[in-house]
């Protein structure tokens, strides 16, 4: 997959071009710099996600709607992993920044591809508590009993489905996917 959004070499600012080169797996066309040979590898970006279970609200799950979404969809708390943090630190930070909830315990649910956005999703179950105050990125939240929550057919939705199965709930899917 070639990412044509990146147009210039980050090394020397020459416009990139699709150039075939022999790699370990054979000839491969990627965006490369014709001047200095720099390659835009276009590796997937790690995104952290959390199924947030509110320990002080009867074990209900917090799903939130991103302010940038046009549809009224509720989804997991997500954020980009930052340099200098572990995935566990990163998702605890994202949950705190986006909801102000304090994470008490994290369990890895799984790792999921999200190829449309060229992301790899590392999904945790987060047991959290505290007062809920949303960041401006989030428009609203809803609390769901695990048996009532609906999943969607994209990376984070599959993570939610896997977690529900681990708790003995057969996941129900809706057909409109959110953007993350
Ligand atoms: Zn260059």
User: Looking at residue 3, what is its pLDDT?
Assistant: 74
Give the residue-averaged pLDDT of 78-104: 98
User: Looking at residue 69, what is its pLDDT?
Assistant: 84
Alpha carbons 176 and 153: distance in angstroms, whole number: 8
Q: How far is ligand 1, taken at its centre, from the CA of residue 142, in Å? A: 48
Q: How far is ligand 1, taken at its centre, from the CA of residue 39, in Å? A: 8
Q: How far is ligand 1, taken at its centre, from the CA of residue 28, in Å? A: 18
User: Across the chain, what does the average pLDDT equal?
Assistant: 94
| Of the listed ranges 43-47, 67-71, 88-92, 95-99, the one predicted with least confidence | 67-71
Q: How far is ligand 1, taken at its centre, from the CA of residue 97, in Å? A: 37
Q: Which residues have C-beta under 5 Å from ligand 1, the single-atom ion? A: 9, 11-12, 14, 33, 35-36, 38
E strand segments, the chain:
17-23, 26-32, 45-54, 60-66, 77-80, 102-114, 119-129, 138-144, 150-151, 172-173
Give the residue-averaged pLDDT of 106-120: 96
DSSP 39: B
Cβ distance 143 to 54 under 8 Å? yes
Statement: residue 105 has pLDDT above 70: yes
Distances (CA, A) of 23 to 2, 19, 27, 150: 16, 12, 6, 43
Q: How far is ligand 1, taken at its centre, from the CA of residue 32, in Å? A: 8
Residue linked to tokens 């054979």: 26
Statement: residue 1 has pLDDT above 70: no
- Give this prediction's pTM: 0.90
User: Looking at residue 70, what is its pLDDT?
Assistant: 79
């Amino acid at each position: 997959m070639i990412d044509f959004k990146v147009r210039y070499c980050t090394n020397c600012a020459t416009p990139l071009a699709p150039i075939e080169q022999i790699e370990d797996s054979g000839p491969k066309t990627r965006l490369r710099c014709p001047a200095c040979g720099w390659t835009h590898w276009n590796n997937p970006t790690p995104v952290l996600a959390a199924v947030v279970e509110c320990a002080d609200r009867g074990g209900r799950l917090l799903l939130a709607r991103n302010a940038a979404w046009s549809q009224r969809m509720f989804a997991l708390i997500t954020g980009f992993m930052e340099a200098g943090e572990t995935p566990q630190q990163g998702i605890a930070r994202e949950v705190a920044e986006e909801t102000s909830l304090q994470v008490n315990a994290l369990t890895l649910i799984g790792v999921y591809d999200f190829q449309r956005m060229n992301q790899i999703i590392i999904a945790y179950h987060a047991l959290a508590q505290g007062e809920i105050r949303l960041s401006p990125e989030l428009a609203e939240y809803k609390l769901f009993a695990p048996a009532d929550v609906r999943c969607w057919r994209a990376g984070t939705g599959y993570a939610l489905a896997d977690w529900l199965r681990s708790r003995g709930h057969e996941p129900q899917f809706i057909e409109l996917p959110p953007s993350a």
